[in-house]
């Protein structure tokens, strides 16, 4: 046999297995973090153009965070995280701080996940749809008519006003949802965490092809579950036959809105795969002050969802006349999980108002290493040694939701200084990494696993640096992959003339 032929075959085989290995480890852009604490638009953040030509995107970048809406009526703000995509099959953990305050309580915020394979995605409707769902208005309100989000898979609303979950059948708003509820329910109606499902697919297009106005993008997005956060109130959940049943498992009492500009909350969303890639278990936890409340716990969002498309007219949509009461038809939604997801955020005001702010966003794989902030103080030019990994967590073994981490699983050699987006800073020299700033010198010793800070001669005040860490490299485990690196944590050192104090707090700090 020709030697050149044999060599060629070997090269092909090597390239094949190399490609397979690359595909197996192509997690996407994990981890991702963005503080939104500057007044400039981050390079990877896209400001989205609303479908309603009379509405401009109100998103503004401030030192306090990304302000999605100002405290005025009729505002809408939305952003996509650019061309970043996240592989879905391992699950996703996302957390962020948010603030809704300063107005009369409208409408809320939404974080949404959509198919990364969609080119030029279009944001959903304004108002109570929060940039996720459609709105089939009649012809008098045609300017507000809009399809839902392109490639939508999941929308999670922090719905302070309560309308995101509602079925509407009126001139300026026609959308499916939970029927026969209204603001008369009081605090059960407002301050809801609500999940809506995927955009309607081929089944819905076929089911409603004969009805004018029921086009692609104007079906689907069903309410999956909605849980009020006030007064241990009952929620609603799809019951498997297209309708909704009450659920009474929630025990909590807090408002999704804050009272003032310091009253931030932290949302923690955990999405774990169900068996055989048949969907996700979804949990939503809100930290308010020092309390963490699980609002939605392990909701099973499966591939096939039966729901009722319950807000349309047999005579056709986008007309002023029509049936007095909307029609309702059960249908099966195919909510196949896209291989890669993109993520975005939106917020709205209507007749009511609020400022909606977002900051300290972190997106990671489940069971990624976890780094937590550290606090210390020292006198000027007096070195302070900080055991920064003492309150951090690494993982080992099979990835499960009940997995317990421990600092012993961390790999000190993977410690890196970084900026708030995770980009590495400083230099690695032998058994240490060093980073010099105007505030002083930061040095992490890999063997000791500890950080030493020495302030600059003339510096007094608060010095800060960010870092990230990974778990140890064990055979057959993914944790040493860069995709499983922790989102950044902050080390804060107060430089003054006072006595040195070190405090590593494993507990989540107060959100303010």
Structure tokens at 48: 């989205």
Q: Where are the domains of the chain?
A: 31-364, 374-504
User: What pLDDT does 500 receive?
Assistant: 54
- What phi and psi, each to the nearest 5 degrees, are found at residue 140? -65, -30
CA distances from 227 to 158, 244, 246, 349 (A): 10, 12, 10, 21
Find out whether 432 and 443 touch, Cβ atoms under 8 Å. Answer: yes
CA distances from 281 to 58, 297, 300, 376 (A): 33, 8, 5, 39
Q: What CATH number does domain 31-364 carry, 2.70.98.10, 2.60.120.200, 3.30.70.1560, 3.40.50.620?
A: 2.60.120.200
- The 3-state DSSP class for residue 118 equals coil
Q: What CATH number does domain 374-504 carry, 2.60.40, 3.90.930, 1.10.3470, 3.30.500?
A: 2.60.40
Structure tokens at 88: 């879905």
* Secondary element (H or E) of residue 304: strand 304-312
pTM of structure: 0.91
User: How much helix, strand and coil, in percent to the nearest 5, is found in the chain?
Assistant: 10, 40, 45
User: What pLDDT does 14 receive?
Assistant: 35
Structure tokens at 146: 């809009």
Candidates 211, 215, 217; CA nearest to 199 is: 217
Q: pLDDT digits over 86-131, tens only?
A: 999 999 999 999 999 999 999 999 999 999 999 999 999 999 999 9
Q: pLDDT digits over 455-506, tens only?
A: 999 999 999 999 999 999 988 899 999 999 999 999 999 999 865 556 665 4
User: What pLDDT does 126 receive?
Assistant: 96
> Read out DSSP for 324-391?
SS-EEEEEEEE-PPPSEEEEEEEEE-SSS--EEEEEEEEEE-TT--B---EEEEEETT--EEE-GGGG
Which residue ranges of the chain lie beneath pLDDT 70?
Answer: 1-25, 321-323, 498-512
> Read out DSSP for 423-482?
-EESEEETTEEEEEETTEEEEEETTTTEEEEEE-TT--EEEEEEEEEEE---TT--TTSG
User: What pLDDT does 460 receive?
Assistant: 96
User: What pLDDT does 240 receive?
Assistant: 87
Find out whether 145 and 136 touch, Cβ atoms under 8 Å. Answer: yes
User: What pLDDT does 21 receive?
Assistant: 35
> Read out DSSP for 8-30?
HHHHHHHHHHHHHHHHHT--BS-
- What phi and psi, each to the nearest 5 degrees, are found at residue 404? -110, 125
């Amino acid at each position: 046999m020709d030697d050149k032929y044999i060599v060629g075959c070997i090269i092909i085989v090597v390239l094949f297995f190399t490609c397979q290995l690359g595909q197996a480890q192509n997690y996407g852009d994990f981890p991702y973090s963005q503080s939104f604490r500057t007044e400039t638009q981050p390079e990877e953040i896209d400001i989205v153009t609303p479908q309603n030509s009379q509405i401009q995107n109100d998103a503004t970048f401030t030192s306090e965070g990304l302000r999605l809406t100002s405290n005025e009526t009729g505002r809408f703000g939305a952003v996509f995280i650019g061309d970043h995509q996240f592989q879905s099959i391992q699950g996703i953990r996302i957390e962020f701080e948010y603030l809704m305050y300063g107005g009369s309580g409208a409408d809320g915020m939404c974080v949404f996940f959509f198919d990364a394979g969609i080119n030029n995605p279009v944001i959903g409707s304004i108002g109570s749809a929060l940039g996720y769902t459609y709105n089939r208005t009649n012809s008098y309100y045609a300017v507000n008519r809009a399809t839902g989000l392109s490639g939508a898979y999941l929308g999670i609303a922090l719905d302070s006003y309560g309308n995101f979950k509602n079925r509407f059948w009126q001139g300026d708003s026609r959308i499916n949802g939970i029927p026969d509820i209204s603001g008369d329910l009081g605090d059960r109606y407002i301050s809801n965490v609500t999940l809506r499902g995927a955009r309607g697919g081929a089944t819905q297009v076929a089911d409603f092809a004969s009805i004018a106005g029921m086009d692609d993008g104007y079906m689907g997005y069903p309410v999956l579950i909605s849980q009020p956060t006030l007064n241990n109130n009952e929620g609603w959940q799809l019951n498997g036959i297209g309708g909704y049943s009450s659920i009474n498992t929630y025990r909590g009492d807090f408002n999704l809105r804050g009272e003032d500009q310091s009253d931030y909350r932290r949302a923690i969303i955990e999405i774990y795969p169900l068996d055989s890639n048949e969907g996700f278990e979804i949990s939503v936890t809100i930290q308010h002050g020092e309390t963490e409340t699980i609002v939605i716990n392990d909701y099973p969002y499966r591939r096939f969802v039966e729901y009722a498309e319950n807000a349309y007219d047999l005579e056709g949509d986008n007309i002023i006349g029509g049936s007095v009461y909307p029609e309702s038809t059960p249908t099966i939604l195919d909510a196949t999980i896209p291989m890669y997801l993109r993520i975005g955020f939106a917020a709205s005001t209507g007749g009511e108002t609020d400022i909606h702010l977002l900051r300290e966003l972190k997106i990671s794989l489940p069971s990624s290493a976890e780094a937590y902030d550290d606090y210390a103080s020292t006198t000027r030019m007096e070195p302070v040694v900080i055991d920064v990994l003492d309150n951090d967590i690494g993982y080992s073994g099979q990835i499960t939701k009940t997995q317990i981490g421990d600092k012993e699983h961390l790999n000190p050699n993977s410690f890196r200084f970084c900026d708030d987006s995770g980009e590495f800073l400083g230099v690695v020299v032998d058994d240490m990494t060093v980073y010099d700033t105007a505030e002083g010198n930061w040095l992490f010793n890999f063997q000791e696993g500890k950080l030493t800070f020495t302030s600059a001669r003339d510096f007094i005040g608060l010095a800060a640096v960010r870092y990230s860490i990974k778990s140890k490299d064990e055979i057959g485990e993914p944790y040493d992959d860069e995709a499983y690196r922790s989102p950044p944590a902050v080390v804060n050192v107060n430089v003054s003339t006072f006595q040195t104090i070190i405090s590593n707090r494993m507990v989540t700090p107060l959100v303010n």
